[in-house]
Amino acid sequence: MEQIFPYEHLHAFTRDVFLKIGCTPEHAQLAATVLLSADLRGIDSHGVARLSGYIRLWEAGRINPLPDIRIVHETPSTAVVDGDGGLGLVVAPFAMQVAIGKAKVAGTGWVSVRHSNHFGIAGYHAMMALEQDMIGMAMTNASPLVAPTFATERMLGTNPIAVAIPAATQPAFVADFATTTAANGKLEILQRKEQEAPLGWIQDKNGVPSTNPNELKSGGALLPLGGDREHGSHKGYCLGAIVDIFSAVLSGANYGPWAPPFVSFLPLPADPVGKGLGHFFGAMRVDAFRPAEEFKAHMDTWINRFRNAATAEGHEKVLIPGDPEREMQAERLEAGVPLLGPVVKDLGEIAMKFKIDF
């Protein structure tokens, strides 16, 4: 069963929860906006369904509600940001603004982040560049739940990549995807719905393909994009590895199997190689390459041509990356955000814990 909630209601509630854990009003407002952007765009696995996870991390002392987010190293076009253990929902926008500021001066800006936490959906941060006629990039490493091709050991996170590219009259091109066949949050949704997972999403602890969405609890692992070697899982493995290196090895965060888990009941690695989770952001000024209006006009041509590509039988149109999320956002802003029963229950328990209305 689903219940529908107005976006404004969920946003106000989420902001109040972040205030209760000690965030400043500015940070609480921003964190709620970033988190709820996932629900608006139909990425339900990364929205308010994760709010209880952030609370449990805070209770375990793994999230600093009043971080001193700062640049610890920089050049004219690059920087390293230390998030001081803050909410990734707040640390990431700070770092992306640094990248945008660098790009305004140098043409491009590149920022790696250490000592952060889960930052919501990558697409939100990449899209921050669009208003400046810039191309935005965002990526992050994550809890080690993914077995590399041919492995049974969990070494990488779902490690998403997002790229946002402006156009003129057409909506922006926004690609936002995990480097696994499916994100862990989708398994959580299947668990709540008591449904099986498709083959190619997960394997059991012995490396055998499985459809049990609870497999991770028994030592299983998510699979890289492609699912198996014959379907290109080595490419998904490479993509996830690149994200891990850019986000964490480059910044001084924990990488690979040392990345801290999102769930509070799992202990932190006893031998950390860095600080917290890592992110990586890029901003490229379009006019550093060609006149922005000229580029955006050609992006319109690109988008229109792909939209009008011949379709396979049974399919009405070709989608441009970002189309489904943009359409979902318009729908949910008007009609509300649907939440599954277990998520509503979690939010109700949070409301009771902090004595606020839900």
pLDDT tens-digit map of 99-121 = 999 999 999 999 999 999 999 99
Residue 172 confidence (pLDDT): 98
Q: Which residues 6+ apart lie within 8 Å of 194 measured at CB?
A: none
Contact 226, 236 (CB under 8 A): yes
Quick check: 3 pLDDT over 90?
Answer: yes
Residue 188 confidence (pLDDT): 80
Residue 265 confidence (pLDDT): 80
Residue 184 confidence (pLDDT): 78
Conformational region of residue 94, where left means phi above 0, alpha means psi within -120 to 50, and beta covers everything else: alpha
Q: What is the pLDDT of residues 221-258, one digit of tens each?
A: 999 999 999 999 999 999 999 999 999 999 999 999 99
DSSP string across 151-202: --S--B----EEEEE--SSSPPEEEEE-SBSS-HHHHHHHHHHT-PPPTTSE
**SS3 sequence of 73-92:** EECCCEEEEECCCCCHHHHH
Split at pLDDT 50, 70, 90, the class of 78 is very high
Split at pLDDT 50, 70, 90, the class of 151 is very high
